[in-house]
Amino acid sequence: MTGLQHLEATVRQQLELLDYPRHPWVPPHPAAADGEAVLDVAVLGAGQTGLATAFGLLREKVRRVAIFDRAPPGQTGVWTTFARMRTLRTPKHVSGPDLGVPALTPRAFFEARDGAEAWAALGKIGREDWQRYLDWYAQVLDLPVRHEHALEAIGHDPATDLLHLHFRTSAGEAVIRARKLVLATGMDGTGAWSIPVPFDALPPDRVSHTSGHVDFAALKGKRILVVGAGASAFDNLATALEAGATHATMLVRRRLMPRVNPFRWMEQAGFLGQFHAMPDALKWRFMRHIFDLNQPPPQESWDRVATDPRFALHMGSPVTGARLDGGEVVLDTPRGSHRADHVVIGTGTAFDLSLRPELAALAPHILLWRDAYAPPPGLDFPPLGACPYLTGGFAFREKVPGTAPALRHIHFMGYGAAPSMGLSGASISGMKYGVPRLVDGICRALWLDDAELHLHDLLSYAEPELTRDIPQEMPEAAE
């Protein structure tokens, strides 16, 4: 028996030891009686958060669960698609997907595969190895993933109070009915990776986004300009140089490179566990500072380029204009213009729920932070204001009560959940606390929706506790 085979047996044993209560409790939806299945929960996104959410629901005996992902098998998530760092940015001892099951922790997997000494010598987990861990996790738990399902629209039937999820698949449109929906849509779940102004004036073949497809082979022998100084910008720049780019210039809006990573401060039980309970004013002040700090590039990302003579860094150089001149891309800054053959944009994501195809029709009805809270003068921050103002169970709220009843059934676990719920979605660091809170919120909603049915079930409960006959009246004691 290999180390991983032994670990898989241990996983099954530990799950058996923890298997209480054992009975499913969510009744079939009445609309399922017509022969068409109704899911209790549909999870959109088969990345790390979607997988862990499905596992958490199944452990709580919510059985009719399915995970949908637009990618084919082997291409879910970011780690082997557009992530270009060599290792994760989080410490190797982080946990989260395991949901408290020791044999499912990343450490258990890597020690079983590579040995305890290899784990002890490891600095950080490689990004491709992390994806191998997630693939193993989904396989050993037999999670119900349906690939090549792109969610294009969310409908709602008032008569049944069910969501109608319209998916585009290789076989055509598929409509899935579900009681609840989880949007585990990652860093861009609050909007989209987009080419912002003024870069949209450039020909599409001359500009790429760090979170999209970049043809690095085509950049061999070319000069590139990279806009932004986040970790992704550095990793894309390094990948381009390693692929043979002749020169790479980084243009940074800030005058000084960030040196403090707020994620390291946030990785504490107090913040991760209790942020969600704070009043709005404190939540805003925390997140305003965290968003404003931004993240510096990890040391590993800086080291990939710092000593390369082909690398140039220009701080205090926000791009004010972009154009094509004589076959060259020209970017203008207050400190001068820069010419190159190609531009890579690393400026993050646009926070606009209407950019999400699945939310386009519902976005005008979703309550946002800017609708619910007015920050004091000087503390305004538009990206925070564009985030959804969520319930304690991660569900959307209606901007005007009664106008979009579907929203209470949609639970949002993207990066934009942070102002409401803290570091909980789209981040390995927050999964340990965020996923159980999400699962608890969904279970609470399902239970309350069916509370009358559960009461009826209790009142009609007739299974005897004891197998022997018990007299209805006890004889009086003899004097």
Paired tokens of 64: 């009719």
The reply to whether 461 falls in a domain is no
**Could you give the percent of the chain with pLDDT greater than 90?**
75
Q: Model confidence at 36, in pLDDT bands (50, 70, 90)? A: confident
pLDDT at 476 over 80: no
Per-residue model confidence (pLDDT) at position 349: 83
Question: Residues 381, 427: one domain?
Answer: yes
Domains held by the chain: number: 2
* Mode of pairing for the β-strands spanning 65-68 and 38-44: parallel
The reply to whether 284 falls in a domain is no
| Per-residue pLDDT tens digits for 145-190 | 999 999 999 999 999 999 999 999 989 999 999 999 999 998 888 9
Per-residue model confidence (pLDDT) at position 186: 87
Question: Residues 97, 165: one domain?
Answer: yes
Q: Strand ranges (DSSP E) for 38-137?
A: 38-44, 65-68
Question: Residues 208, 63: one domain?
Answer: no
Sign of the CA dihedral with 332 first, then 337, 343, and 348 last: negative
Mean pLDDT rounded to a whole number for the chain? 92
Question: Residues 181, 37: one domain?
Answer: yes
Question: Residues 336, 235: one domain?
Answer: yes
CATH code of the domain in which 397 resides: 3.50.50.60
Q: Model confidence at 465, in pLDDT bands (50, 70, 90)? A: low
The reply to whether 276 falls in a domain is no
**Phi and psi angles of residue 15, each rounded to the nearest 5 degrees, phi first:** -65, -35
Question: Residues 92, 161: one domain?
Answer: yes
- Tokens 């989209």 sit on residue: 192
pLDDT at 198 over 90: yes
> Domain of 68?
3-190+351-452
Paired tokens of 69: 């992902």
The reply to whether 140 falls in a domain is yes
Question: Residues 326, 416: one domain?
Answer: no
Question: Residues 302, 183: one domain?
Answer: no
Question: Residues 200, 127: one domain?
Answer: no
Per-residue model confidence (pLDDT) at position 196: 86
The reply to whether 126 falls in a domain is yes
Element (H, E) at 436: helix 431-449
Cis peptide before 357 (omega within 30 of 0): no
Spatial separation of the C-alpha atoms in residues 100 and 412, rounded to whole Å: 23
Question: Residues 23, 165: one domain?
Answer: yes
Sign of the CA dihedral with 196 first, then 201, 202, and 204 last: positive
The reply to whether 283 falls in a domain is no
Question: Residues 139, 86: one domain?
Answer: yes
The reply to whether 43 falls in a domain is yes
- Whole-model pTM above 0.85? yes
Spatial separation of the C-alpha atoms in residues 265 and 272, rounded to whole Å: 10
The reply to whether 274 falls in a domain is no
